[in-house]
Structure 1
């Protein structure tokens, strides 16, 4: 492996469904009521796409202006949360594993269904710096297609001049993370149970491993 691409919320950043609850709140403000379970189905997707899918599934025309307003409210609430909440922290062993990979010559990258302003707020809050704690990050608003499309992984590969996706691993906590790894033909696609999906839910999608703690990645790579 030359590169491991990590998801953020639920994978490397602690999340007790705060993302789903915040998206639910943003939708409710405009009169659209969805359960967290319904919202979890689209977790990991680029958030405007997730909003559009939810609206369409409920028979609502997902007009661009409406989607943008809901998304903007979501972004503002998430930035406030990641700036001020005492709950914000990394998942167990995330930073240790990031350091381990970099010390062993493996690049560490992040991709996310968040837009750049939210991702940068998280990096600032956790004091994770590019070039010191990780090597690259890409957000869904910086590519043509977010997850489950492979664009963000391909962008990370391009950054490091990696041409063979078999030398890349993808780790995430949602269906769309695993689909993204499959679509990019990653050499390693790993689901982690620290976020939106349970082990049983993740089992239904393409994966090489499902883990409960990022620390397990060390043994996977050794073998």
Structure 2
């Protein structure tokens, strides 16, 4: 008998908390502003999901940001600049997490249903350890508790490498990868799930790619909201997702479909004679 889904690995900001992933985007924009570089929301969000120091590096290597840095500072950025910015970023990140710690709508009910289906729950994040613990604490106080909480500091390489997912599997005793769903809201999340060999799922409405608060999202005209959801889903599909869902509330139904699929799919194609 093939294993049913036994572990769901969630990203934090933009997937389970902080609809629209505003906490990290705000912190990145603020730390660049402190160095005289005005980055756009799109530039701050493009590397979302990565280890946050690597995220800073990725932003600095964007052509427009690199050009702005040279214009403001009269020189290219260097590793000392990255170290300084990351040092400044950490307290900013903790502050914005506290400001954007609300759970995404429907999460608590969805997770309750997942647990009745036999799923353990893990969280992974590009946040550093203190930030990961802070967001987990806020989430637990609102009713969302995880069985494992893995951050980029815990592994040799963050997303899109699969190591955080494997660490969550190890800590919860879940295997094989076909019994694991990794769900996130960034391209790096999707790529990490694909690299881990598990089911890789993107959630669209609360995602960093959508980039809207819940109020702004629900205020969109119906046709615009549907078009935006489709655009985000296409981005996830291009990154290698196995499935996309409009909202986290749809996840239990997807788990049931995957369980049924794994029960009915063949265990092998052929054996040598």
Pair 1:74 & 2:89 matched: yes
Deviations 1:39-78 (A, max 9, x none): 2110111110010111123447653332222123222112
Deviations 1:146-200 (A, max 9, x none): 00000100111122333421111010000000001111111x2111111211442
Provide TM-score, normalisation by structure 1: 0.89
Pair 1:31 & 2:65 matched: no
| Structure 2 equivalent of residue 184 of structure 1 | 196
| Structure 1 equivalent of residue 46 of structure 2 | 41
How many residue pairs align between the two structures?
Answer: 219
Q: Are the structure 2 counterparts of residues 180 and 128 from structure 1 closer, same or farther at C-alpha, using a change threshold of 3 Å?
A: farther
Kindly indicate whether the alpha-carbon contact (under 8 Å) linking 1:189 and 1:207 is maintained by their aligned counterparts in 2: yes
| Structure 2 equivalent of residue 9 of structure 1 | 13
Name the CA distance, whole Å, in 2 between partners of 1:121 and 1:10.
16
| Alignment of structure 1 residues 1-223 onto 2, 5 Å | 1-16=5-20, 17-58=22-63, 59=66, 63-83=78-98, 85=99, 87-128=100-141, 133-186=145-198, 188-193=199-204, 194-198=206-210, 199=229, 200=231, 201-223=235-257
Instruction: Specify which structure has the higher proportion of helix.
Output: 2
Kindly indicate whether the alpha-carbon contact (under 8 Å) linking 1:56 and 1:62 is maintained by their aligned counterparts in 2: no
